[in-house]
Amino acid sequence: MKLELHIWRQAGPNIKGYFEGHTLDDLDEHMSVPEMLDHLNTKIIKSGGNPVAFESDCREGICGQCGFVINGDVHSPNKGTTTCQTHLRSFQDGQTLYLEPFRAGAFPIKKDLVIDRSAFDRIIQAGGYIGVNTGQAAEANTLLINHELAEKAFDAAACIGCGACVATCKNASAMLFTSAKVNHLSMLPQGKPEASNRVKNMVAQMDMEGFGSCSATGACEVVCPQGITMTNIAEMNSRWLWQNLK
Amino acid sequence: MLDSRIPDGPLEDKWQKYKAHAQLINPANRRNYKIIVVGTGLAGASSAASLAELGFQVEVFTFHDSARRAHSVAAQGGVNAAKDYKNDGDSVWRMFYDTLKGGDFRAREANVYRLAECSMALIDQAVAQGVPFAREYSGYLSNRSFGGVQVSRTFYARGQTGQQLLLGAYQALMRQNAGSNLTLHTRHEMLDVITLNGEAKGVTIRNLDTGELTSHHCDALLLATGGYGKIYYLSTLAMNCNATAIWRAHRKGAFMAAPSWTQFHPTSLPQLGDYQSKLTLMSESLRNDGRIWVPKLVNEKRAPKDIPEAERDYYLERRYPSFGNLAPRDISSRAAKERIDAGHGVGPMKNAVYLDFKDALNRDGQPAIAQRYGNLFDMYQKITGMNAYKEPMMIAPAAHFSMGGLWVDYRLMSNLPGLFVLGEANFSDHGANRLGANSLLQSCVDGYFIAPSTVMDYLAEVGSAKSKKDATWEAAAALSKAEVSKRLEHLLKIKGNTTAEEFHKELGQILYVKCGLSRNQTDMEAAREALLALQKRFQKELLIPGNASEINFELEKAVRVEDYLEMAILIVEDALQRKESCGAHFRQEYQTEDGEALRNDEDFKYVSAWEYKGDNQYALHKEHLNFEFVELKSRSYK
């Protein structure tokens, strides 16, 4: 299988980037996109060049480390799929692919396809937890949580922190990421005592990091590898509003 | 010489007795002690958060860009606890016995009992953190069954239990990072342990973004850096999983225990081609409802749906009627390899077996199966392009979990005072084979419940006087930093023609073929020669682009592969000396007439602990295992 690649190269955060062309004609359709880059990098290194910097760790779609934009599609041309789970059989033989990093002001580019998503960690740090110390917990079955609620909490908790929602949003908004964590914790009885500070502090941190506003286009939920839905955003808005009305 | 420091007394009182007598440090004085934690998986994040909650000064390092990425995130199936919510006869004792037996009686009774004893509190802790475990309609927690046991004691969050537990620990860690007791450094990799008079007193760290090397002082060092199954190159592990932290500690004097005990997971996806970089795991929980079979005919060409029942060999049900498809991992993997080697393998490379849900789908209907395994079936479709509701999955064994690791005593402290090793990085609780859903448990129990007590006990024992950051320490730190710097420069200067990854693939192939699912003396001796030759070539032919003062993923890989190459030689050494079959270690020379593992308790009832002597030389120490509370039995799942 043959692909013509144009890959974003950028030596450092404040250095001008450009697309670099490579043609690969010995590819296998069952290779994943990172495996294609491994293959390319081996060729580049052996010919004395500078390999493409990219990140990918678990390669099974759960660690959230990978993710590029491929021909304008965040992560993948396949809906709800991470880059590492995208195989070359998703493309046509002979196709041209443009590979770029996720782009957002709050995710500075570090090198080539590697970006800095530490803003997400700081949003979690602002309140994305339940404040229970080790040892304080009560017997697990003393707290009953009905099946539907547990499933709904899981749906929100499944976020892998990849940043695709931000990268695809025209405003580079982190509302889907933030709301998923706010709702996961605040809908559960364990998370209720801190619910009002949680939403206030996490939203404030999100704004401080420079993420944009949500204009409800719904682009985020289309690319989310875990299928986290936009209803989370509405739910968080309501939590935030009530908190401010108090 | 190896003192496991197991408390005296009845098995069920040991941990309570230890805790009752462990020394404490006044809350106001705890901030005078500095603890370094390397790794932010379940064991690292949970221990760091718990120690910071107690008031110690904690500094945490991870090579990942975020603490949430550690490979604990990928564990799918569940976490065990002896809650006996099912009223199916479970108890701490039964869980202890299942685990000890599952490990083929090559673990310490006291450690295994403690693991089972602390399991219930872990579920309580995780629920309090907001981990959304599966629930019954009544609101009570739900359980399922896993391999190697006959009770349902596994708690789960769909097929993403590891992710949910890790997020709980990560959130607890970030909560502490917001406070004044803990500082987290991402994209920082540990490249050496600083020792002073044989005690661990700090680490040399490389900033992976700038290449800067820094020295960090501590009173206690906790390594929670995970397993080394990736040494086989093709494995279920993440690309960056490595042994460098534990290997560097080993070179500084910490003993490496049972390095040859690597578990091959029976339900991974098979290799499809040479380009492949990893083997994706499908949760073992699938074996609750899936039936494993191969065609009876060698070189079968028909599609699975066209093969009638009478021509299918459900080999696990045939060989192990009482456990069937839920036989433990080592046994299931070996049985699959046996059928594949005999020519019954399926798939394009004839390297897989079928995992068939036809009967379960007919019995329970597609919606019920989708609710249990929906995300696993989706994942299977994404990777293979095949629909497992319509045709059986194809699965194969893959390198997975390291039962071996740095030797630790009951306190989880290595033979180097001050060096604690947690989670998969240590050898402790699983013997020669780990049972499913016990790894998340062990990481969490080590981190939340054991280390906070034992590290404090150790610190109180040595006192703050011993921990000065004086001129002697500075000299040791400078020496360590110079050694690391020299090593990196040396690797960069080789300028050969082979990448680190190419060496890693060669290494993995040698190890998989000659010291993998089954081993024999002749093959392993050949492996040793091949590995020594590969190690020499690595030093002559390695090619790393770029330099040491920038983001350089190739340099990161080369350092890890260099350590893997050295470790592989010890793995073969360890497998050679153990002239018996036990758990995941199957020596072809030592098997029963019907092909089962033949253990030799008389001569090998010990854990090997290797001392580094330099130049691929090691001295063997033995920790003899005393079984005071259970009778050793030949392990049978028939």
Sheet of B188-196: strand order equals B188-196, B199-207, B213-217
What integer pLDDT is reported at residue A94 of this predicted model?
98
The predicted-structure confidence for B230-259, as pLDDT tens digits, reads as follows: 999 999 999 999 999 999 999 999 999 999
Residue A101 and residue A134 in one domain: no
Q: Which of A49, A60, A129 sits opposite B172 (nearest CB)?
A: A129
Catalytic residues of B: 329
The predicted-structure confidence for B193-220, as pLDDT tens digits, reads as follows: 999 999 999 999 999 999 999 999 999 9
Total domains present in chain A: 2
| Stretch B471-497: mean pLDDT | 97
The predicted-structure confidence for B120-179, as pLDDT tens digits, reads as follows: 999 999 999 999 999 999 999 999 888 778 899 999 998 899 999 999 999 999 999 999
Decide if B258 contacts B570 (C-beta within 8 A): no
For the record, the structure tokens of A48 come out as 């004395």
Residue that finishes a domain, picked among A111, A135, A168 = A111
Amino acid sitting at position B471: A
Residue A233 and residue A141 in one domain: yes
pLDDT category of residue B466 using cuts at 50, 70 and 90: low
The predicted-structure confidence for B403-430, as pLDDT tens digits, reads as follows: 999 999 999 999 999 999 999 999 989 9
Q: Does B51 touch chain A (CB under 8 A)?
A: no
| Stretch B283-303: mean pLDDT | 92
Q: How far is B231 from chain A (nearest CA, A)?
A: 15
Pick the residue of A15, A39, A58 with the most B CBs within 10 A to test the interface with B by mutation: A58
Decide if A130 contacts A138 (C-beta within 8 A): no
Taking domain B265-399, whether its CATH number is 3.30.1300.10 is answered by: no
The predicted-structure confidence for B576-632, as pLDDT tens digits, reads as follows: 999 999 999 999 999 999 888 999 999 999 999 999 999 999 999 999 999 999 999
Which CATH number do you get for residue A127? 1.10.1060.10
Task: Quote the domain boundaries for residue A59.
Answer: 3-111
Which neighbouring-strand residues pair with A115? A109
- Which residues in chain B have Cβ-Cβ distances shorter than 8 Å to A132? 125, 128-129, 172
Q: How far is A140 from chain B (nearest CA, A)?
A: 4
Residue A84 and residue A200 in one domain: no
Residue A94 and residue A160 in one domain: no
Residue A155 and residue A204 in one domain: yes
What's the fold here for domain B482-613? Answer: Methane Monooxygenase Hydroxylase; Chain G, domain 1 (1.20.58)
Q: Which of A56, A125, A143 sits opposite B174 (nearest CB)?
A: A125
Decide if B186 contacts B38 (C-beta within 8 A): no
Instruction: Return the percentage of chain B with pLDDT > 70, whole number.
Output: 99
- Which residues in chain B have Cβ-Cβ distances shorter than 8 Å to A197? none
Residue A152 and residue A34 in one domain: no
Q: Does B554 touch chain A (CB under 8 A)?
A: yes
Residue A142 and residue A77 in one domain: no
The predicted-structure confidence for A150-186, as pLDDT tens digits, reads as follows: 999 999 999 999 999 999 999 999 999 999 999 999 9
Q: How far is B207 from chain A (nearest CA, A)?
A: 14
What integer pLDDT is reported at residue B465 of this predicted model?
59
What integer pLDDT is reported at residue A182 of this predicted model?
98
Residue A72 and residue A129 in one domain: no
Q: Does B600 touch chain A (CB under 8 A)?
A: no
Closest-CA residue to B408 (of B263, B257, B261, B260)? B257
Residue that finishes a domain, picked among A111, A130, A158 = A111
Q: Do A42 and B502 touch (CB under 8 A)?
A: yes
The predicted-structure confidence for B613-625, as pLDDT tens digits, reads as follows: 999 999 999 999 9
The predicted-structure confidence for A112-132, as pLDDT tens digits, reads as follows: 999 999 999 999 999 999 999
Q: How far is B83 from chain A (nearest CA, A)?
A: 10
Q: What is the pLDDT along chain A (246 residues), one digit of tens a residue?
A: 999 999 999 999 999 999 999 999 999 999 999 999 999 999 999 999 999 999 999 999 999 999 999 999 999 999 999 999 999 999 999 999 999 999 999 999 999 999 999 999 999 999 999 999 999 999 999 999 999 999 999 999 999 999 999 999 999 999 999 999 999 999 999 999 999 999 999 999 999 999 999 999 999 999 999 999 999 999 999 999 998 887
| Stretch B504-525: mean pLDDT | 97
Q: Measure Cα distances from B458 to B25, B256, B331 in Å.
A: 10, 21, 40
What integer pLDDT is reported at residue B385 of this predicted model?
85
Q: Measure Cα distances from B23 to B136, B285, B407 in Å.
A: 42, 42, 23
Residue A125 and residue A241 in one domain: yes
The predicted-structure confidence for B296-352, as pLDDT tens digits, reads as follows: 999 899 999 999 999 999 999 999 999 999 998 899 999 999 999 999 999 989 999
- Which residues in chain B have Cβ-Cβ distances shorter than 8 Å to A56? 239
Q: Do A89 and B64 touch (CB under 8 A)?
A: no
Pick the residue of A10, A40, A57, A102 with the most B CBs within 10 A to test the interface with B by mutation: A57
Which CATH number do you get for residue A102? 3.10.20.30
What residue segments make up the domains of chain B, in order of their start? 265-399, 482-613
How far, in Å, CA of A81 to CA of B379, rounded? 10
Q: Do A30 and B121 touch (CB under 8 A)?
A: no
Q: Does B75 touch chain A (CB under 8 A)?
A: no
Residue A11 and residue A99 in one domain: yes
Which neighbouring-strand residues pair with B214? B205
Decide if B326 contacts B287 (C-beta within 8 A): yes
Q: Do A118 and B186 touch (CB under 8 A)?
A: yes
Decide if A177 contacts A117 (C-beta within 8 A): no
Q: Do A128 and B174 touch (CB under 8 A)?
A: yes
Residue A153 and residue A215 in one domain: yes
Q: Does B499 touch chain A (CB under 8 A)?
A: yes
Residue that finishes a domain, picked among A53, A88, A111 = A111
Q: Do B64 and A150 touch (CB under 8 A)?
A: no
Of B9-18, B370-379, B622-631, minimum mean pLDDT range: B370-379
What was the ipTM of the complex prediction?
0.98
Q: Which of A35, A44, A111 sits opposite B277 (nearest CB)?
A: A35
Distance between first and last Cα of chain B: 40
What integer pLDDT is reported at residue B204 of this predicted model?
98
Residue B467: pLDDT over 70? no
Q: What is the mean pLDDT of chain B?
A: 96
Q: Do A64 and B379 touch (CB under 8 A)?
A: no
- Which residues in chain A have Cβ-Cβ distances shorter than 8 Å to B275? 28, 31, 35, 38-39
- Which residues in chain B have Cβ-Cβ distances shorter than 8 Å to A45? 499, 543, 545, 554
pLDDT category of residue B469 using cuts at 50, 70 and 90: confident
Residue A74 and residue A144 in one domain: no
What integer pLDDT is reported at residue B127 of this predicted model?
98
